[in-house]
């Protein structure tokens, strides 16, 4: 596949902003507890209906998301979230009365007393959290879904690793390789055109886990460079069990890099910006390519292994 030639099909419309994501998880959570699946609501019907009632009270009448302090109300008692209050005209959307600046402290207090299961209960998290601590926990919950590691477009598909591997294969047509060593060729006919649109992704399957090999062109200050780095499809803690090396060369010269794969919890952009990978200046890359330096022809060899104490320096 030529660099930059892949397209992310049918994905553009499904982009979800982080705010909407919170909404989404909260709504899902609300639905699951109203079905009686949540840990607390299963204690009794009375309790379930009380909880559902409170949930309904805590739902903003305008945007339907769960409200967090400051919660506002109109003089007639219609509540709405601070987001909507800042967004809509000065009239209450329910009774058209002027909104004013009235906090609904009672509702804020009720919310404070609630305890809710993590939204990722179905994915394995069985912790219970106070209403106000839940969102914070979910942002770093180890059971939260991963975001698609594809680098060519802003793909917002989320899921567990198994699901994402299938998604990369089926929807992004990413190359899959078995084994812990590799030899990869990157060819580009117009290497002068360095921009962030040049990238490639290959998935390696070894040790029963998956790794993403990224190859990207970008501008480092004024210098056009290429970077190759590995990301681990799993959490950071686990990624530290692995090491990898990359080498690129030609014309009797060689450049080597050894590193620890970064978790896909870190975006490829973040890894690229931290320069945590094999960086090749364009001039050197063209020198490695041989010939008349008009075409980029890089051979990147690499290896992944389970780290020992010697590798990590402990
Ligand atoms: Zn709202
Ligand atoms: Zn009102
Ligand atoms: Zn959790
Ligand atoms: Zn994707």
Q: Which of 242, 244, 222, 224 is nearest to 234 (CA)?
A: 242
Asked whether residue 262 falls in the same domain as residue 123, the answer is no
Asked whether residue 189 falls in the same domain as residue 224, the answer is yes
Residue 105 in any domain: the answer is yes
Asked whether residue 290 falls in the same domain as residue 180, the answer is yes
Given a contact cutoff of 8 angstroms between Cβ atoms, the answer to whether 115 and 137 are in contact is no
Asked whether residue 189 falls in the same domain as residue 252, the answer is yes
Q: Which of 285, 226, 227 is nearest to 253 (CA)?
A: 285
The pLDDT assigned to 154 comes to 78
Residue 25 in any domain: the answer is yes
Residue 205 in any domain: the answer is yes
Distance 85 CA to ligand 1 centre (A): 7
> Where is pLDDT greater, at 54 or 301?
301
Asked whether residue 160 falls in the same domain as residue 94, the answer is no
Domain C-terminal end among 140, 165, 189: 140
User: Which two tokens mark 67?
Assistant: 């409200």
The pLDDT assigned to 42 comes to 42
Asked whether residue 257 falls in the same domain as residue 201, the answer is yes
Predicted confidence (pLDDT) at residue 295 exceeds the cutoff of 90 = no
Distance 158 CA to ligand 4 centre (A): 8
Distance 283 CA to ligand 4 centre (A): 32
Rounded to an integer, the average pLDDT of 172-176 is 92
Helices (H) and strands (E) in the chain, counts: 10, 17
Q: Which of 260, 238, 237, 235 is nearest to 311 (CA)?
A: 260
The pLDDT assigned to 100 comes to 86
Least confident of 1-15, 142-156, 171-185, 285-299: 1-15
Give the predicted TM-score (pTM) of the model: 0.68
CATH number at residue 171: 2.60.210.10
Structural domain of 254? 150-312
Asked whether residue 261 falls in the same domain as residue 293, the answer is yes
Asked whether residue 127 falls in the same domain as residue 154, the answer is no
Asked whether residue 98 falls in the same domain as residue 158, the answer is no
CATH number at residue 109: 3.30.40.10
Asked whether residue 154 falls in the same domain as residue 301, the answer is yes
pLDDT tens digit string along 237-275? 999 999 999 999 988 889 999 999 999 999 988 999 999
Distance 172 CA to ligand 4 centre (A): 6
* Structural domains in the chain (count): 2
Asked whether residue 117 falls in the same domain as residue 226, the answer is no
Q: What percent of the chain has pLDDT over 70?
A: 79
Rounded to an integer, the average pLDDT of 96-108 is 91
pLDDT tens digit string along 179-226? 999 998 888 777 666 554 467 899 999 999 999 999 988 888 888 899
Closest-approaching ligand to the CA atom of 100: 2
Asked whether residue 210 falls in the same domain as residue 128, the answer is no
Closest-approaching ligand to the CA atom of 63: 1
Residue 6 in any domain: the answer is no
The pLDDT assigned to 65 comes to 87
Predicted confidence (pLDDT) at residue 138 exceeds the cutoff of 60 = yes
């Amino acid at each position: 596949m030529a660099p930059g030639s892949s397209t992310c099909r049918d994905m553009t419309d499904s982009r979800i902003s982080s705010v909407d994501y919170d909404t989404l998880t909260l709504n899902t959570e609300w639905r699951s507890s109203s079905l009686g699946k949540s840990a607390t609501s299963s204690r009794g019907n009375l309790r379930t209906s009380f909880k559902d009632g409170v949930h309904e009270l805590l739902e903003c009448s305008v945007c339907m998301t769960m409200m967090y302090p400051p919660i506002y109300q109109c003089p007639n008692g219609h509540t709405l979230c601070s987001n909507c209050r800042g967004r809509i005209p000065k009239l209450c959307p329910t009774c058209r009365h002027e909104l004013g600046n009235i906090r609904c402290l009672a509702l804020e207090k009720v919310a404070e007393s609630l305890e809710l299961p993590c939204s990722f209960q179905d994915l394995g998290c069985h912790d219970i959290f106070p209403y106000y601590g839940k969102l914070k926990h979910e942002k770093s919950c180890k059971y939260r879904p991963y975001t698609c590691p594809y680098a060519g477009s802003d793909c917002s598909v989320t899921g567990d690793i198994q699901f994402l591997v299938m998604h990369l294969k089926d929807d992004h047509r990413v190359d899959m390789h078995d084994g812990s060593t590799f030899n990869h060729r990157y060819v580009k006919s117009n290497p002068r055109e360095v921009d962030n649109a040049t990238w490639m992704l290959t998935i390696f399957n070894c040790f029963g886990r998956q790794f993403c090999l990224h190859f990207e062109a970008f501008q480092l200050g004024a210098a056009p460079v290429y970077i190759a780095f590995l990301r681990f499809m799993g959490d950071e803690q686990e990624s530290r069990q692995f090491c990898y090396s990359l080498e690129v060369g030609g014309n009797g010269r060689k450049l080597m890099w050894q590193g620890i794969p970064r978790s896909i919890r870190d975006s490829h952009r973040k890894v690229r910006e931290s320069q945590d990978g094999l960086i090749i200046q364009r001039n050197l890359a063209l020198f490695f390519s041989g010939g008349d330096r008009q075409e980029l022809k890089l051979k990147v060899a690499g290896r992944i292994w389970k780290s020992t104490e010697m590798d990590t320096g402990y």
